[in-house]
């Protein structure tokens, strides 16, 4: 509200507009081959940090709205345990974000003809000029994953879960910021949409699993798509960085034009992508092995142990003990009858 109110006054408008609107726009004149009107494109700069900070606050507000008006109401009806409560909130928030980002990214891919012409991923590199939708998409992605840090405190995340959360938040920020700064925004957009779709399927399947623990079909489909997603990510990365950019004419490092198409950068990009995909596959295999072990132990038949017969007085006493306990009331009554009879016989004698 402070930044929005600052736009209403002329003194603070210049400072507030840096936080609210996208910066570094360039007007490209129209050509005969392209549209008749001039286009407004954007590049990145240091002022984008202010824009990311503002939309990080917006993401925190949206996170709180979803939590209070959707997830908390479902939690009250389902009566989840503390462990399921935290996992349900995590999957609910992430599934909403992944769905929104996946639909938005797919719209950008269709509008800019990335699907019909895959050579756009590496042709005319560096892609230092972005459309409004492309830049706003990356600003929103960075803002969302930066907002995840304060949410660890707001959601009162357990100490044992904090390292896991920090790892995957850091991986997201590292790869999104790397694609944004190295002008690989076309490749980054395709890989993000592909990854977000697979992750959305996992978290929506986990939400259905919390409502009905017999639901397993979504996890089976996710397991297949997860492996295919990792393979497609590696194929597109090698095709774009290893072949497309490697055969480009301009392979000189130039910070002014944003050209990072040199051998060292290409190796670093491919290495980071391959290591991340290998790490994700390793976590996936461990997760599947753990599920199979739990499933096998759950379905293992219970073997009844035969009673062992041991020789000796102790075993005989052990077998006779329940019979004596069962017949105790009658034995007590018979004993009392014998005593009374002996007393009567004694008196008579």
The predicted structure's pLDDT at residue 306: 52
Burial environment of residue 280 by CB neighbours within 10 A (0 to 12, 13 to 18, 19 or more)? middle
The predicted structure's pLDDT at residue 300: 57
Residues near 16 by Cβ (< 8 Å), separated by ≥ 6? 3, 4, 6, 7
The predicted structure's pLDDT at residue 227: 95
The predicted structure's pLDDT at residue 37: 66
On whether the pTM is more than 0.75, the answer is yes
Decide: helix, strand or coil at residue 12: helix
Element at 41 (helix H, strand E): strand 39-42
The alpha carbons of the chain give a radius of gyration, in whole angstroms, of 34
Residues near 323 by Cβ (< 8 Å), separated by ≥ 6? none
Give average pLDDT by consecutive 10-residue segment, the chain, 349 residues: 83 89 86 62 94 96 94 87 85 95 95 82 89 96 96 88 92 96 94 96 91 80 94 95 89 89 94 95 90 73 51 44 42 44 41
The predicted structure's pLDDT at residue 312: 47
Burial environment of residue 82 by CB neighbours within 10 A (0 to 12, 13 to 18, 19 or more)? exposed
């Amino acid at each position: 509200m402070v930044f929005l109110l600052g736009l209403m006054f002329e003194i603070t408008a210049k400072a507030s507009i840096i936080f609210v609107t996208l910066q570094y726009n360039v007007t490209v004149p129209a050509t005969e081959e392209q549209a008749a009107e001039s286009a407004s494109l954007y590049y990145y700069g240091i002022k984008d940090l202010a824009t990311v900070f503002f939309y990080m606050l917006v993401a925190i507000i949206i996170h709180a709205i979803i939590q209070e008006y959707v997830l908390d109401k479902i939690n009250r009806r389902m009566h989840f345990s503390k462990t399921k409560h935290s996992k349900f909130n995590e999957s609910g928030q992430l599934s909403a974000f992944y769905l929104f980002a996946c639909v938005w990214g797919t719209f950008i891919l269709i509008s800019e003809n990335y699907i019909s012409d895959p050579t756009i991923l590496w042709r005319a590199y560096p892609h230092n000029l972005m459309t409004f939708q492309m830049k706003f998409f990356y600003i929103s992605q960075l803002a969302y994953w930066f907002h995840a840090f304060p949410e660890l405190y707001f959601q009162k995340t357990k100490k044992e879960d904090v390292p896991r959360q920090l790892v995957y938040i850091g991986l997201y920020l590292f790869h999104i910021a790397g694609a944004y700064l190295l002008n690989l925004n076309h490749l980054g957009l395709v890989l993000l949409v592909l990854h977000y779709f697979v992750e959305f399927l996992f978290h929506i399947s986990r939400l259905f699993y919390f409502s009905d623990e017999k639901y397993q079909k979504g996890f089976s489909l996710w397991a297949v798509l997860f492996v295919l997603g990792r393979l497609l990510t590696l194929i597109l990365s090698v095709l774009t960085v290893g072949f497309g950019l490697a055969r480009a004419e301009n392979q000189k490092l130039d910070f002014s034009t944003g050209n990072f198409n040199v051998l060292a950068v290409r190796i670093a990009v491919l290495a980071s992508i391959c290591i991340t995909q290998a790490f994700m596959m390793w976590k996936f295999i461990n997760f599947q092995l753990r599920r199979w072990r739990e499933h096998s132990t759950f379905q293992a038949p219970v073997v009844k142990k035969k009673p062992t017969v041991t020789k000796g007085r102790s075993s005989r006493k052990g077998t006779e003990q329940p019979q004596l306990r069962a017949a105790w009331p009658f034995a007590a009554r018979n004993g009392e009858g014998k005593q009374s009879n002996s007393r009567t016989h004694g008196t008579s004698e």
